[in-house]
Amino acid sequence: MRIFWILIIGLLGVVAAQNAFTGNDQGGKSMKENTAKLEKAIFAGGCFWCMEKPFEQLEGVSSVISGYTGGKTRNPDYGNYAAGGHIEAVEIHFDPAKISYQQLLDVYWRQVDPTDAGGQFVDRGHAYTTAIFYLNEEQQRLAEESKQTLEKKGLFGKPLVTPIIPAAEFFAAEEYHQDYYRNNPVRYKYYRWGSGRDKFLDKIWGVKH
């Protein structure tokens, strides 16, 4: 379905360059920061284009990489990742001295429909499902507690089905997918609007989610 929206945008005459992901200084986080103190978090929330911006804007987040994970094939690409059982995800590099994993979880839940086991919004199928991939026991504990707390609030009116599972190898997506919201702002906004994501999130969390 995402390809459908890209075609629609093309018919509207929207033209945007496919810039390489360079960790530039135009509002993004530099990939050249000292990584010795950084930790990682891996979240899946449907279209990875829509998962980069909310995290890249956070103080303490060094970079957010779109990619594929959870499948059985090696070196997946955009043409075959779904067939290999992978799903779209983002790998977040963050400084735990500035932002906690718990805070990242709070942001994550506000980006997705955790009750949908069949995809996210207009994008359907396993490749677009949600998941929290933990990298250690502490992340697992925090993720499970966070999910339980959210479920008790009953905001969604349905059970939360987002799985919390061990991290698998993460494969970075092609360069044209990285920082898509910044490199292709018009296409990105049309896609978000057309996907139904923002309308759903506004209804659950309010306009300033």
Residue 113 domain-assigned?
yes
Using CA atoms, how far residue 105 sits from 29, 73, 118, 144, 194, in Å, is 19, 28, 21, 10, 26
How much is the average pLDDT of 66-76?
97
pLDDT of amino acid 207 = 65
Task: Report how far residue 88's alpha carbon sits from residue 41's, in angstroms, rounded to the nearest whole number.
Answer: 14
Residue 14 domain-assigned?
no
Residue 163 domain-assigned?
yes
pLDDT of amino acid 134 = 98
Percentage with pLDDT > 90 across the chain: 80
What pTM was estimated for this model as a whole? Answer: 0.84
Of the pLDDT bands very low, low, confident and very high (cuts 50, 70, 90), residue 1 is low
pLDDT digits (tens, 9 = 90+) for 133-149: 999 999 999 999 999 99
Residue 6 domain-assigned?
no
| Residue 143: both structure tokens together | 């993720």
| Residue 202: both structure tokens together | 């506004």
- Give the single-character DSSP code of 138: H
Return the number of other C-beta atoms located less than 10 Å from residue 30's C-beta.
11
Of the pLDDT bands very low, low, confident and very high (cuts 50, 70, 90), residue 2 is low
Task: Report how far residue 61's alpha carbon sits from residue 95's, in angstroms, rounded to the nearest whole number.
Answer: 6
Domain count, the chain: 1
Res 3 pLDDT > 90: no
Residue 7 domain-assigned?
no
CATH number at residue 137: 3.30.1060.10
Res 205 pLDDT > 90: yes
pLDDT digits (tens, 9 = 90+) for 180-199: 999 999 999 999 989 999 99
**Residues with active-site annotation:** 47
Question: Hey, what amino acid is at 101?
Answer: Y
Torsion angles phi and psi, residue 83, rounded to 5: -65, -25
The upper half-sphere exposure of residue 1, i.e. CA atoms within 13 Å in the direction of its Cβ, equals 16
Residue 167 domain-assigned?
yes
Residue 5 domain-assigned?
no
pLDDT digits (tens, 9 = 90+) for 105-126: 999 999 999 999 999 999 999 9
Residue 30 domain-assigned?
no
The boundaries of the domain holding residue 61 are: 35-205
pLDDT of amino acid 34 = 55
